[in-house]
Structure 1
Amino acid sequence: CFLCRRYLQPPGTWIQCTLESRELLALCLKKIKASLSKVRLIDAGFIWTEPHSKRLKLKLTVQKEVINGAVLQQVFVVEYIVQSQMCEDCHRIEAKDFWKAVVQVRQKTLHKKTFYYLEQLILKHRLHQNTLRIKEIHDGLDFYYSSKQQAQRMVDFLQCTVPSRSKSSQRLISHDIHSNVYNYKSTFSVEIVPICKDNVVCLSPKLAQSLGNMSQICVCIRVTSTIHLIDPSTLQIAEIDGNTYWRHPFNSLFHPKQLEEFIIVDINRVQEKKKGAGAGARSNKHTLAEAWVQKTSELNTDHQYFCCTHLGHILNPGDLVLGSVLVVSSIEVGGVCVNTCCFSLQILIKKSYDRTKRQRRRNWKLKELERDREGTDTDDERQYQDFLEDLEEDEAIRKNVNIYRNADIPVESDTDDDGPPRISLAEMLEDLHISQDATGGEGANM
């Protein structure tokens, strides 16, 4: 095949062979198997020919017993002519009808941080090597494959990586009535839960009770193969898998763009409250604190808010923090919605740092998938920076991602503990380029 450089092994198998390889030698010998049936093959090897000459030459040594037990040995050269054609796979690619299965990954959110995380997981596990094409659209990714088995492998990987559900369908393309062979195109639809890191969610009473009498208002601190939630007023934590979520679905109460910036006026670490009967586990990585905060947009007023927060281990007076004020006007009692007097609930989500300084000190980088983009959103760069900041702040997420050192940015000292979280040099990999040798210079031509 003049496109993929594979050789035809009759009747319909195409194999990959390099010049003067054992595989190509075996293929050539099969072509003259009938002619060698009356002699014994002793030795066979290639004679060098110009790679572009479309010629292959074999030097063969054969023996045959003649009169009265005498053995005659002869050495001769067999010349092959390479005829170029197009294999079936390449023909389908040229006809734009090359894929047999597609995996459509979707998430009903207004940002792409989950897909940035999936991109790094796919690169780390090299699941993109079998894809024919990757297409990015406004609400997800499409992966095209040449076989249904490869697409099913991607679906299994996604279900083990993020909370999701899938369904499949297939469309008949052609049918051979003589051989009873059907040609289908398969479509796998994967829907990821619409919950991401730093989302504030409201659980149903039944689900909250099953999680150890957890509060209905929780903060999502991480999304891996499960959804990790924390109650900011008690530090109680819980994990929700995909099956549990689809039985008791819930959504985020607001979009990350709706977060407001607060300044810490005063904060006091408090002793954790005593566990109640049937209460779930509590986080050992967070510290419960009571804080007085004020909106940065209301610094000229005396309006302050009091709240309990799970960020007591990183917050100090004067720090900036992102949060939201929820106004609750009704509660659910016994499955019935009962109107009550309105009250506000302040929730602090994450500490805020100077983004410009973080970008300037970031001496690492990530690799990206080669994909076709349907259109670029003006907000994509900000969302990508949010994802990079999540990696710096969460060590558990970083363990699943290959992080490479950026040689263009000098390495700074890690003794500055007052700044934003940083990734240590020990967690980074060296970005290897085949065109460079071990000394950093240009390597020899291959």
Structure 2
Amino acid sequence: MCDCRRDVPRTPNSVDQTTQNVWGANFSPDRLTTAIRVLGETLIDMEYMQTPVSSSQGNILCCTCGILIAPNPANMCVSCLRTQVDITEGIPKQVSVHFCKQCERYLQPPGTWVQCALESRELLALCLKKLKSSMSKVRLIDAGFLWTEPHSKRIKIKLTIQKEVMNGAILQQVFVVEFVIHPQMCDDCHRVEAKDFWKAVVQVRQKTVHKKTFYYLEQLILKHKLHQNSLRIKEIHEGIDFYYGSKQHAQKMTDFLQCTVPCRSKASQRLISHDVHSNTYNYKSTFSVEIVPICKDNVVCLSPRLAQSLGNMGQVCVCIRVTSTIHLIDPNTLQIAEVDSNAYWRYPFNSLCSPRQLEEFIIMDIDIIRDQKLGAGAGFRSNKHTLAEVWVQKTSEMNTSQQYHCRTFLGHLLNIGDLVLGFDFANANINDEFLNKMNPHHVPDVVLIKKSYDRARRVKRRNWKLKEMEKDREGMDTDDERQYQDFLEDLEEDETLRKNVNIFRDSSKIPVESDTDDDGAPRISLTEMLEDLSLNDATGGEGAEMMTD
């Protein structure tokens, strides 16, 4: 046995004295060596106890196939577990979905039809709702579409689900559900096809010969898509009837008409049936809308009181535009005014001539009037027109020397030798209440309306077109084509009027960049046209209507 004291170095007497002072009188170097050894062994034991014990988890054999697997509550591999348990049991792999071809909506049971685009979140939610009852015992992890041919009438969705199976083991499985699209007409489309089932009708009437206002109104309806809710559109003499399945849609159309054209309306309803047990009533509502009987290019004679309220303008005026108000211009002073529906029905006036009564004149001489001053209390003057004095002669009286003198607001367009359309007051028989009371010296001999261009050339060079509503035509006049061409020419000549109209480029015509023809006739520039994009053009064939909305 070795002596531990040999391993401990001796310290100076001063150190021994200091240590003895700290530990007491009984302290000795041998006792210090023993204490250090015991302390070292204790620290080694504590470090060993704090070190985690490394343990390796062993694998087990599958109880069915014997493959080495990690331990799980079922003691089976995933493949064997799936052969024993099918968590997709009870979930149908093929489901029917009803689709209406007319309105392109899907049926959401029990009776709601919703608009859904292909591979959209709305369509995915609609399909999952059909599986909601059968998937109540599983947990849905993920769902997504699988691509199918657009014309296959199939929608495939890949689902990922989880479920707790034998002894608490959680099994996850991926499978595909196929939804078969079956055509079925919705109730609204049934009513449209029936054509006689309606609950509200909007009767739009205008007691005029020309239909310029109706053509303009049709373009506004198409632009704001208010015709989509109508069951049937029927065109009759002096107006159009819009049939609706609900009173709310008819009321919306009536409000739109009152905001876009000067008109007045009244509503009525007729009792169809009454259920005494539930105290419910079935009515058919009728909204009658009457548009003011004034169209563009009409010559009118205002009442003295109305002319005075409009800034002391002349009684004989020309209607240059009809929007939500009637835009009038005085051909003698270029004074302009707007008459709304309330002012018109308070002081009504009629058109003095129809488009058929316009005659063709040739300009013999023209003199521009500058610095024309209006009287006291006068209104505003037009900045887009130029006042001029002209001498004209009828093209049908070229073999005579009969000429007419008048003032016109077309001084910025006319030159000597130009053709112009106007109304001959001197040789016309007019029966108007306000015109007959006017001083004959204040009644002009001729009122010029618009410059005349070669219509055949304008039609040939027109490289744009308008869309039309699908409507039933009854009792149509033979000159509808001529009136429609007049409306198209008005769009070309009036930039303000065509701002509210969607104009589409005609791909069958050669595009022309110029804003005027060779003879000076105005044209519509390509920048104002829209591309007429159809569904077949966008997707490349039939059956593509299901790919786009």
**Same topology, TM > 0.5:** yes
- Hey, what does 1:22 align to over in structure 2? 124
- Letter of the 1:41 partner, please give it: R
CA contact (8 A) 1:329 1:342 kept: no
Per-residue deviation, 1:357:
1.4
In the alignment, structure 1 residue 288 sits paired with structure 2 residue 387? yes
- Bigger CA drift: 225-234 or 130-139? 130-139
1:436 aligns with 2:537: yes
1:331–1:339 Cα contact (<8 Å) kept: no
Separation in structure 1 between the aligned mates of residue 528 and residue 438 of structure 2, nearest angstrom: 52
Deviations 1:342-377 (A, max 9, x none): 976321111111111111221111111111111442
Moved more, 53-62 or 264-273: 53-62
Do the aligned residues in 1 keep the contact of 2:254 with 2:289 (CA within 8 Å)?
A: yes
Question: What are the residue-to-residue correspondences of 1:141-152 with 2, within 5 Å?
Answer: 141-152=240-251
Partners of 1:342 and 1:18 lie apart in 2 by: 66
User: Are the structure 2 counterparts of residues 53 and 31 from structure 1 closer, same or farther at C-alpha, using a change threshold of 3 Å?
Assistant: farther
TM-score of the aligned structures, taking structure 2 as reference length: 0.70
**2:255 is the alignment partner of 1:156:** yes
Structure 1: which 5+ runs fail to align?
Answer: none
Structure ranking higher in strand proportion: 1
Instruction: Quote the residue 2:489 is aligned against.
Output: 389
Give the AA of the match of 2:447: I
Q: Could you tell me how far apart the structure 1 residues matched to 2:416 and 2:436 are? A: 42
Determine what percentage of the aligned residue pairs are the same residue: 64
Q: Over residues 185-241 of structure 1, what are the superposed CA-to-partner deviations in whole Å (9 max), with x where a residue is unaligned?
A: 221111111101111000001000000111111011111111110110011110011
Shift of 1:419: 2.2
Q: Specify the SS of the correspondent of 1:398.
A: helix
Moved more, 181-190 or 381-390: 181-190
What's the secondary structure of 1:308's corresponding residue? strand
Question: Unaligned stretches of 5+ in structure 2?
Answer: 1-97
Residues 329, 357 of structure 1: alpha-carbon distance in 2 compared, 3 angstrom cutoff: closer
Tell me what 1:126 maps to.
Answer: 225
Separation in structure 1 between the aligned mates of residue 365 and residue 416 of structure 2, nearest angstrom? 5
User: Deviation string for 1:77-127 (max 9, x for gaps)?
Assistant: 999999998765455456555322211111100121111111111111222
- Aligned counterpart in structure 2 of residue 419 of structure 1, from 516, 520, 532: 520
Any idea what SS the aligned residue of 2:217 has?
A: helix
Q: Note closer, same or farther for the CA distance 1:268–1:131 as it changes in structure 2 (3 Å cut).
A: same
Match of 2:460 among 349, 356, 360: 360
Shift of 1:313: 0.7
Q: Is the 8 A contact 1:9 1:15 kept in 2?
A: no
Equivalent residue number for residue 410 of structure 2: 311
Larger radius of gyration: 2
**Aligned with 1:435: secondary structure?**
helix
Deviates more, 1:211-220 or 1:21-30: 21-30
Task: Confirm or deny that 1:41 pairs with 2:139.
Answer: yes
1:401 corresponds to which residue?
Answer: 501
Matched, 1:139 2:238: yes
Of 401-410 and 203-212, deviating more is 401-410
Structure-2 separation of matches of 1:44 and 1:376: 60
Higher helix fraction (1 or 2)? 2
Letter in 1 for 2:393: Q
Deviation digits for residues 305-329 of structure 1, max 9, x if unmatched?
A: 1111111111111111111222499
Q: TM-score, normalised by structure 1?
A: 0.85
Q: Secondary structure of 1:22's match?
A: helix
- 1:244 aligned counterpart, secondary structure: helix
Q: Which amino acid counterpart does residue 230 of structure 1 have in structure 2?
A: I
User: Structure 1 pair 371/219, CA: closer, same or farther in 2 (3 Å)?
Assistant: same
For 2:478 and 2:451, how far apart are their aligned partners in 1? 25
Say which SS state the counterpart of residue 132 (structure 1) adopts.
Answer: strand
Output the CA distance in 2 between the equivalents of 1:252 and 1:431: 37
- How far apart, in 2, do the equivalents of 1:165 and 1:321 lie? 35
- Paired AA for residue 130 in structure 2: C
Equivalent pairs counted in the alignment come to 436
The question of whether the paired residues in 2 share the 8 Å contact of 1:331 and 1:340 is answered with no
- Find the aligned partners of 1:74 and 1:342 in 2 and give their Cα distance: 95
Kept in 1: contact 2:140–2:159 (CA 8 A): no
Alignment correspondent of 1:165: 264
- The whole-number CA distance in structure 1 between the counterparts of 2:532 and 2:348 is 42
Contact 1:54 1:83 in 2 (8 A): no
Query: Does structure 2 retain, via aligned residues, the 8 Å contact 1:120–1:368?
Result: yes
Compute the displacement of 1:412 (Å).
3.7
Greater shift after overlay, 320-329 or 178-187? Answer: 320-329
CA RMSD of aligned residues (A): 3.8
